Structure 1
Amino acid sequence: MIRTPLRPLARILSARERGENPDAIERENIRLRAERSAERLRRSAERRLYVMAGFFGLGFLAVGVQMGALAASEPVEPRLASSGPAIVAQRADITDRRGRVLATNLLTHSLYAQTRDMVDPARAAQELAKIFPDLDPDRLTRQLTDGRSFMWIKRRISPEQMQAVHDIGEPGLLFGPREMRLYPNGPLAAHVLGGARFGTEGVHSAEVIGVAGVERAFDGWLRDPANGGAPLVLSLDLSVQSAVEDLLDSGMKMMNAKGATAVLMEVRTGEIVAMASLPDFDPNDRPAPLLKGDASDSPLFNRAVQGVYELGSTFKVFAIAQALDLGLVAADTMIPTKGPLVWGRFKINDFHSYGAQNSVTDILVKSSNVGTARIATMIGPERQRDFLTRLGFTEPTQVELTEAPTGRPLLPAKWSDISSLTISYGHGLSASPLHLAAAYATLANGGRRVTPTLVHGAQPKGAGEQVVSPEAAAQTLAMMRAVVTRGTASFGEVRGYRVAGKTGTADKPRPTGGYYDDKVIATFASVFPVDDPQYVLVLTLDEPVETSGPEPRRTAGWTAVPVAAEVIRRTAPLLGLRPEVGVEPEVLDGVTLVRN
């Protein structure tokens, strides 16, 4: 750049010759130079303003474009970017078939300490011990002062406890929001629901994962955001479940039983309307599992699915149904029943002497081991095993519980001739009450295989394999009806509802081998109403003893049957079954059955 001098020599000399003041030339040049500098600064400022305006315009345009794109897209919950794995905190509800909540989520808080921010750890520990009595103040003080920077104090606290901690005024005590699993009905359906616990935990969230029951079996589904928060709808009916559990608990205490279980199932769909196992627990405060001893002593043990028992004379129904289906016998076929039946070194006897021979119907009504074993000899081991396999007795049930695979039936090492005879009347093969319920439902379903399920609407009606002919199934149900009207289940009659069923009393095996002399598993498997079968109820009592008479009575007819009859009487109206009008109490051997 060429710089013009403020006092040009030529102009100075010319001005002096004319008598002018040379300083005026310098002042003029200073003024002109200032004007040119100001002009340059103005043009530079204008350029910067234009550039800034351009950037602001582009920014507003980008914001407008993004807002338009968001307005035109589907709404999506924002996600927090993190270097670690995401914690899925939301978990879907679980409801019964009518939409009533069985498991849901509750917003709560955790309590943790940032020890570097604490002012008085010793005082804080003393105050926390007053709020949470299970905390040891001395141990907590040591933990807060041992140099760690972070520590969990409580994984979840109530609003009242949170306010009390606030009142301590300690800046190092902080809260983290999280969801916890809540079971509003307490122990109701505890073995079906199972329970949940915290999995991956962060300061501001924690994932809830299932540990047992349907909570674990459907854990992935319940945590999947793709389901849009839709609840898992179970086949249970909350009202029926509550009634079954109340009556089962009363019956267990009345019969002095160690434990009890009941399964109430729809005949045509296999949907389980109620499943109870006692003793039970509260899934809100799930107890620790037993580390030694008998698993059935734990309240966590689901007797309906995990309990594998010899189910006694309830199995006689299957031998008779198969023989009818094969055309080997008819309902009035006479079978020798004089005992004992000798097979090699084994002898088979009846509980009472039932005479030289009885019809097939009376064999079931009187519950003759000898007569059933003779029918089994007609069938043979191979055909018997195939039939029971098709009924589901050789594999665990496929019900949607994480415990289901552990309920594997106990089968004989070799399905020999003698095994075939003892299995025909319920000894030598152990299965769960749920196995038995599914098999009875198959007979009540016209012989078509029923698969038990806990999910409402999971399978269509009549989708199973035809295991036995409808005619044989109908004849078997008619015989089961006679068991209630004039046989071992006479206390199972319920006014207005025609009940069919079969009792089973099996000696309880010792853990060391052999059987107890005075301990039994008593079972009553029933179908109602028998004219149009809708439901199957299997009720089992562990070590029952009925003591109202001069001698203790342990058979199912005296223990399981009366309890099951009361369950049917109470739940049938809840299930929408109208009682049959005009049915009078039946007189059985001079005793009139009366129901209050």
Structure 2
Amino acid sequence: MTTISASPQFFQPPQRRRRSAIGGVLRGLIWTRAASAAAARSRVTVVMLGFMLLFCVFVGRLVYFGALPEHGSAAWRSAQDSIAAARPDILDRNGDILATDIRSVSLFAEPRKVLDADEATELLASVLPELGDSATRAKLASNAGFVWLKRELSPAKQQQIHDLGIPGIGFLQENKRFYPGGNVAAHVLGGVNVDNQGIAGLEKTIDGQGLADLHALGFAQNEGLAPVKLALDLKIQHAVRDELIQGIQRYHAQAAVGIVLNVRTGEVVAMSSVPDFDSNDPTEGLEKDKINRATAGVFELGSVFKMFTIAAALDTGATTLSSVYDASVPLRIGRFTIHDFHGKHRPLTVPEVFIYSSNIGTGRMTLAMGGWRQFEYFKRFGFTHKLQTDLPEVGAPIVPRQWKDITAVTASFGHGISVSPMQAAAAAVALVNGGIYIPPTFFPRTAEEAAKIGTRVVSARTSAEMRYLFRLNVEKGSGRKANVPGYDVGGKTGTAEKVIHGRYSKDQNLNSFLAAVPMDNPQYVILTVLDDPRPETPGAGRSSGANVVPLAGNILRRILPMLGIQPKPDTPAESLLAAN
């Protein structure tokens, strides 16, 4: 007999099975509705939280804009633009800060919210007397949405004005440029205006390299601007400037210039023109005697030019180091007569023409070479066109329109042609570095980068011959007072009569000395200039050998160790101590 087994449910009565099925359906419906209700409550909660967040943001923005001036006005937008004009830090080659931004507070007004212009003017004048004028009253009585009243307030003045509680008067934080060194690199750095925009020097250059465009587009905000590094060395810059100031005092000069160039890269390691100004107050730079004489001023540099003439004559083959020129009598050209300042009154070799700085010998050399060839070399040296460099303050050279024989002869010893000291220093670099002209730069540059943009102006042989003449002049000629023990210094002096009211003055000179070091492997060119030096003591001379040469020697003693140039191993210790 077959047995069938099944679950008890299989044998439930039909009525009971129907009730069980209906209960299951009801339980399912109840669970589904409960889940739906919970999901709906969650969605409502999320929506409510979202609305609450938007409401808070909306109210916050209303409060924020309610506390601000009428930001829809063009004046207010302009103010915001100036506030956002942050500038990058400027660093020297070692990372020392030359210029940076700090935060300052400025005073503004919303004239439409000023209740009583007369009362507001009177209250402001109690703290800032300069705001008690009719111009301030007119601003406060106008219908403008926003006006500046005073830029860069001190915290104490800000608090005093705040305590007055004048309706429609407020404060804004903005950027202010600060130069920790003050005057040290003024003509290099330049300065900015009250809106933190570059108006002179490398500050203006940096704006022209894209910073101004970033400001206009709103990308240059308060942070994130990469610092700008210069080739300048702050320690050397300070030493050069300090010695120039002492030189002005010692020799009662009107002004002085000092330039240090790397002959392999063209980098400006130091450049100072004294008198200078405090970059924190660039309006001082507008004073006439504080012009940047290093690049913006052009001068007749006198006998310094003889090195360029002699280099051209050697390079063309028109002369050699063994050539001899008659300097026993003056050189006559038409109605003009050329004399020597300290004549030897005898024939001179080329080295003697150089170390005795003979106008007659250099003039005869020029005539033998040909004036047109001399002019071509002057073009190569950069004397016939404006210097190409990073500073916006660059003077154009003054070159004779016609290059006649007398013009060529006088130009051979630096009369009748005016260039900036930086132009002369840059050209001298080519005379000692193997013959390559390298445009000077205030930004870092490698020797490899310089090689790509350098142009050959004289041969390597001519450069070697000029180095010999440079060293000979410091050993035996007019540059002896710059012969720093332990270092092979070379150079050429220049004593030029200044042009006063169109005539050459007999008692005012512009003296210069261009040095290079070390002459066996030149690394740096140093140009020093004194404007109208006087005898240090009664009876002392006024030529360059008596003032600018010893001044250059003092500069060299201070900076050569900083430049990493080691003295010769066989130099006696007592000589080094005496030199420093």
Do both share a fold (TM > 0.5)?
A: yes
Give the match for residue 436 of structure 1: 424
The one-letter code of the counterpart of 1:252 is I
The one-letter code of the counterpart of 2:457 is V
**C-alpha distance in structure 2 between counterparts of 1:127 and 1:579, whole Å:** 68
> 1:93, CA displacement in angstroms?
1.4
Of the candidates 458, 471, 475, which is equivalent to residue 461 of structure 2? 471
Q: Does 1:384 align with 2:374?
A: yes
Identity in percent: 39
> 1:595, CA displacement in angstroms?
3.8
State the SS of the aligned residue for 2:456. coil
**C-alpha distance in structure 2 between counterparts of 1:536 and 1:234, whole Å:** 18
Match runs of 1:196-215 below 5 Å: 196-199=192-195, 208-215=196-203
Give the match for residue 552 of structure 2: 564
Give the match for residue 332 of structure 1: 322
**C-alpha distance in structure 2 between counterparts of 1:403 and 1:120, whole Å:** 48
**C-alpha distance in structure 1 between counterparts of 2:551 and 2:110, whole Å:** 58
Match runs of 1:5-16 below 5 Å: none
Give the match for residue 524 of structure 1: 513
Of the candidates 484, 509, 514, which is equivalent to residue 499 of structure 2? 509
Give the match for residue 289 of structure 2: 298
**C-alpha distance in structure 1 between counterparts of 2:137 and 2:324, whole Å:** 83
> 1:95, CA displacement in angstroms?
1.0
**C-alpha distance in structure 2 between counterparts of 1:345 and 1:362, whole Å:** 27
Give the match for residue 181 of structure 1: 177
Q: 1:236 to 1:450 in 2, by over 3 A?
A: same
**C-alpha distance in structure 2 between counterparts of 1:105 and 1:366, whole Å:** 53
> 1:357, CA displacement in angstroms?
0.5
Give the match for residue 574 of structure 1: 562
**C-alpha distance in structure 2 between counterparts of 1:434 and 1:123, whole Å:** 57
Q: 1:153 to 1:81 in 2, by over 3 A?
A: closer
State the SS of the aligned residue for 1:580. coil
Q: For 1:309-368, what per-residue CA distance to the aligned partner results, in whole angstroms no more than 9, with x for missing partners?
A: 111111111121122222222222222112210111111000122132111001100100
Q: 1:163 to 1:350 in 2, by over 3 A?
A: same
Q: Give the count of matched residue pairs.
A: 509
Q: 1:555 to 1:595 in 2, by over 3 A?
A: same
> 1:155, CA displacement in angstroms?
1.5
| Structure 2 unaligned blocks of 5 or more | 1-32, 54-70
Give the match for residue 359 of structure 2: 369
The one-letter code of the counterpart of 1:524 is F
Q: Does 1:137 align with 2:125?
A: no
Q: Tell me the TM-score normalized by structure 1.
A: 0.79
Instruction: Give the structure with higher Rg (CA).
Output: 1
The one-letter code of the counterpart of 1:438 is A
Q: 1:122 to 1:423 in 2, by over 3 A?
A: same
Q: For 1:48-97, what per-residue CA distance to the aligned partner results, in whole angstroms no more than 9, with x for missing partners?
A: x979959967997xx9xxxxxxxxxxxxxxxx999868825222111111
Q: For 1:103-145, what per-residue CA distance to the aligned partner results, in whole angstroms no more than 9, with x for missing partners?
A: 1111111101234545676665455445435x15354774466
Match runs of 1:206-225 below 5 Å: 208-220=196-208, 221-223=210-212, 224=214, 225=219
Query: 2:89–2:101: 8 Å Cα contact kept in structure 1?
Result: yes
Q: 1:128 to 1:243 in 2, by over 3 A?
A: farther
Q: For 1:268-311, what per-residue CA distance to the aligned partner results, in whole angstroms no more than 9, with x for missing partners?
A: 10000001011111121122675xxxx8x332x11000111111
Query: 1:124–1:168: 8 Å Cα contact kept in structure 2?
Result: no
Q: 1:101 to 1:82 in 2, by over 3 A?
A: farther
Of the candidates 536, 545, 564, which is equivalent to residue 534 of structure 2? 545
Give the match for residue 265 of structure 2: 269
More deviation, 357-366/123-132: 123-132
The one-letter code of the counterpart of 1:447 is G
Query: 1:495–1:585: 8 Å Cα contact kept in structure 2?
Result: no
**C-alpha distance in structure 1 between counterparts of 2:179 and 2:136, whole Å:** 34
Match runs of 1:474-493 below 5 Å: 474-493=464-483
Q: 1:439 to 1:112 in 2, by over 3 A?
A: same
Q: 1:544 to 1:323 in 2, by over 3 A?
A: same
Query: 2:474–2:489: 8 Å Cα contact kept in structure 1?
Result: yes
Q: For 1:241-289, what per-residue CA distance to the aligned partner results, in whole angstroms no more than 9, with x for missing partners?
A: 1111111111011111111111111011000000101111112112267
> 1:399, CA displacement in angstroms?
1.1
Q: 1:570 to 1:129 in 2, by over 3 A?
A: farther
Q: Does 1:457 align with 2:445?
A: yes
The one-letter code of the counterpart of 2:97 is V
The one-letter code of the counterpart of 1:432 is S
Give the match for residue 23 of structure 2: none
Cα RMSD between the aligned structures? Answer: 3.1
**C-alpha distance in structure 2 between counterparts of 1:167 and 1:581, whole Å:** 70
Query: 1:94–1:104: 8 Å Cα contact kept in structure 2?
Result: yes
Q: Does 1:360 align with 2:360?
A: no
> 1:561, CA displacement in angstroms?
0.7
Give the match for residue 60 of structure 2: none
> 1:163, CA displacement in angstroms?
2.2
Q: 1:141 to 1:429 in 2, by over 3 A?
A: closer
Of the candidates 225, 238, 244, which is equivalent to residue 242 of structure 1? 238
State the SS of the aligned residue for 2:491. strand
**C-alpha distance in structure 1 between counterparts of 2:48 and 2:127, whole Å:** 58
> 1:162, CA displacement in angstroms?
1.9
**C-alpha distance in structure 2 between counterparts of 1:513 and 1:359, whole Å:** 35
Q: For 1:430-463, what per-residue CA distance to the aligned partner results, in whole angstroms no more than 9, with x for missing partners?
A: 1010011101111111111121000112772433
Q: 1:466 to 1:144 in 2, by over 3 A?
A: closer
Q: For 1:151-205, what per-residue CA distance to the aligned partner results, in whole angstroms no more than 9, with x for missing partners?
A: 4221221223222322333343200121111112111111111111144xxxxxx
Q: Tell me the TM-score normalized by structure 2.
A: 0.81
Q: 1:417 to 1:59 in 2, by over 3 A?
A: farther
Of the candidates 395, 400, 408, which is equivalent to residue 396 of structure 2? 408
**C-alpha distance in structure 2 between counterparts of 1:130 and 1:488, whole Å:** 65
